[in-house]
Structure 1
Amino acid sequence: MTRDAIRLRRVVRRFGSGDAAVTALHDLTFSFGEGTFTAVMGPSGSGKSTLLQCAAGLDRPTSGTVLLGDTDLTRLDETRLTRLRRDRIGFVFQSFNLLPTLTAEQNVALPMRLAGRRPADGEVREALARVGLADRARHRPQEMSGGQQQRVAIARALITRPQVLFGDEPTGALDSSTGREVLRMLRALADDGGQTIVMVTHDPVAAAHADRVVFLADGRLHGTLDAPSPEAVASRMTRMEAPAC
């Protein structure tokens, strides 16, 4: 059986207080299996980004628990939570966030250097090789395409060998062809490297690269879809977004 990489138990996230309070997540309970690729989808305002932030330790739920393996993120103080995010969680966003004056290998090594650690010999090149950019190590961002820059960002997220790689619209700034290349690479990381991936997306084609799609609506779980196809995902989203009669 697949072990759980992340478990959410009765997670609630509420913003504000009193009559002005807004509940972004309502009593969510589900898990993400180790070595699986999961897409999270839902209409605008459904709680997708809030879910990702709580699961990744970027935000604290109002109530409930979030476990990374056997570690309860909700019980960690800020110092320990920061260390956990640095060492055990990787992040990839729509913006590549590469430093323009640094080469690809320097950008990839940056998280470790900021943590006061020196990468082992060959470690950075290995991370770049995992994303198909071993020959671009000394190129700067402006010398690379958008897809290559996103691959560098993914290599940077992988350098600490995180238990979970979180992506927030990682192909949102890419054209469709380049986006598919990045998605195929993420798929290979899960299939060949056993990497656990959780990706928020609005794109049914992107979601179809995942093993499972988790649907949210109004901060509540609205079902899941295994072995998704773009057509099945789009159909489910259309039904979710249709106005109630």
Structure 2
Amino acid sequence: MEEAVRLEAVSKRYGSGRSAVTVLGPVDLCFTRGSFTAVMGPSGSGKSTLLQCAAGLDRPSAGRVVLDGTDISSLGETARTAHRRRATGFVFQAYNLLPSLTAEQNIALPLRLDGRRPARGEIRRALERVGLADRAGSRPGELSGGQQQRVAVARALVTRPAVLFADEPTGALDLATGRELLRDLRDLVETPGQQGLGTVVMVTHDPQVAAFADRVVFLADGLVAGELHRPAPEAVAARMAALGGARGRAVPEAARC
């Protein structure tokens, strides 16, 4: 199957010499188009670092990242940023909405940063997609946490990215709102023609959330420690519990698409 993202021997280190700390890798992983993958692991296992390197938000210390057909590891900062803006959407746990802008203006921001003027009705359709057509003029402080997260999702989708990356997208949401958001993401994978989106990569700590994905990849001590396909929440929870006795043991099969 066609790959949306491939990581080849990717690692991330901080510091230098004897004080250097490796927080990720080396990791080999790929994510195919039309897939929904959850990334799980204990605190400090490298989940967010993996997501940021895969999305081009951070540059690996070593290895190669191919994002939507382009080796972003070989690009300069300006070119990498431009490709990331076109190819990806990113949903942050903390929303990262600008408080002085309305929902409509926050959603339009990625297009404007890329030098594009939103087409007539484009932002309105994005708001309708996440059920907030009547809150276009509301600022973040006038919205609930769930509504702010939906604005963040609409903002991530408005550029019609090849890949949506989400870091703990339900972490600050109540159960009902979180499940509704996950169903939205599930729909976006299954009906990619509506937004040009076919791939979701999501970091989560919650087995119930991970079970919405087609595939769950586990990390431990910065290394791939196995994967499950279409698992029940109980199977995810059991694997997470088992990681305490198997940390750092990478499973080569997990690199396969």
Interval of TM-score (by shorter of Structure 1 and Structure 2): over 0.9
Give the Cα–Cα distance (whole angstroms) in 1 for the partners of residues 226 and 98 of structure 2: 39
Q: Which residue of 1 aligns with 2:218?
A: 215
Q: Which residue of 1 aligns with 2:167?
A: 168
Q: Which residue of 2 aligns with 1:201?
A: 204
| More deviation, 61-70/208-217 | 61-70
Q: Which residue of 1 aligns with 2:86?
A: 87
TM-score normalised over the length of structure 2: 0.89
Residues 1:233 and 2:236 are matched in the alignment: yes
Q: Which residue of 2 aligns with 1:127?
A: 126
Contact in 1 for aligned 2:164/2:201 (Cα 8 Å): yes
Unaligned ranges ≥5, structure 2:
248-257
Instruction: State the 1:134 CA deviation.
Output: 2.4
Q: Which residue of 1 aligns with 2:250?
A: none
Q: Which residue of 1 aligns with 2:251?
A: none
Q: Which residue of 2 aligns with 1:100?
A: 99
Give the Cα–Cα distance (whole angstroms) in 2 for the partners of residues 239 and 195 of structure 1: 32
Distance 1:117 1:12, change over 3 A: same
Instruction: State the 1:243 CA deviation.
Output: 8.3
Give the Cα–Cα distance (whole angstroms) in 2 for the partners of residues 138 and 16 of structure 1: 45
Instruction: State the 1:242 CA deviation.
Output: 4.7
| More deviation, 91-100/75-84 | 91-100
Partner SS state of residue 177, structure 2: helix
- Deviation per CA, 1:106-131: give whole Å up to 9, x if none: 11112222333210111111222222
Give the Cα–Cα distance (whole angstroms) in 1 for the partners of residues 185 and 18 of structure 2: 43
Q: Which residue of 2 aligns with 1:9?
A: 8
Distance 1:212 1:243, change over 3 A: closer
Partner SS state of residue 225, structure 2: strand
Give the Cα–Cα distance (whole angstroms) in 1 for the partners of residues 140 and 37 of structure 2: 29
Unaligned ranges ≥5, structure 1:
none
Residues 1:65 and 2:64 are matched in the alignment: yes
Give the Cα–Cα distance (whole angstroms) in 1 for the partners of residues 101 and 81 of structure 2: 25
- Deviation per CA, 1:217-240: give whole Å up to 9, x if none: 111111111002211111100111
Give the Cα–Cα distance (whole angstroms) in 2 for the partners of residues 69 and 86 of structure 1: 12
Q: Which residue of 2 aligns with 1:151?
A: 150
Partner SS state of residue 28, structure 1: strand
Instruction: State the 1:140 CA deviation.
Output: 2.8
Residues 1:118 and 2:117 are matched in the alignment: yes
Partner SS state of residue 7, structure 1: strand
Give the Cα–Cα distance (whole angstroms) in 1 for the partners of residues 98 and 48 of structure 2: 25
Contact in 1 for aligned 2:82/2:114 (Cα 8 Å): no
Letter in 2 for 1:227: R
Q: Which residue of 2 aligns with 1:74?
A: 73
State the aligned residue count.
243
Give the Cα–Cα distance (whole angstroms) in 1 for the partners of residues 182 and 95 of structure 2: 15
- Deviation per CA, 1:180-234: give whole Å up to 9, x if none: 1111111111112243111111111111111100000111111111002211111
* Percent identical: 65
